Amino acid sequence: MSTTTAWHTIREASVISGLPESTLRYYEQIGIIAPITRDPSSGHRA
C-alpha cells in the first residue's frame, strides 16, 4: 500500500469540507482545529 500526501489550497479545503474559507482560517486561528500542515514551497495545506 502506498501513501501519498495531497496538498490543497484553502479554496479546495473549503470545497471538500463545505465550510467557507474564512471559517476555516478562523477555526485554525482560535484553535478549534489544529494548525494545518503546509507545503513549505507553496504554502498549500496538506
Asked whether the beta carbons of 21 and 8 are under 8 A apart, the reply is no
In terms of Cβ atoms closer than 10 Å to its own Cβ (0-12, 13-18, 19+), residue 22 is exposed
- C-alpha distances (whole Å) from 9 to each of 21, 29, 43 are 10, 17, 8
pLDDT in tens, 11-40: 988 999 999 999 999 998 999 987 777 778
Quote the pTM value: 0.65
Residue 38, strand partner residues: 45
Secondary structure string (H, E, C) spanning 1-42: CCCCCCCECHHHHHHHHCCCHHHHHHHHHHCCCCCCCECCCC
Domains of the chain: 1-46 (1.10.1660.10)
pLDDT of residue 13: 86
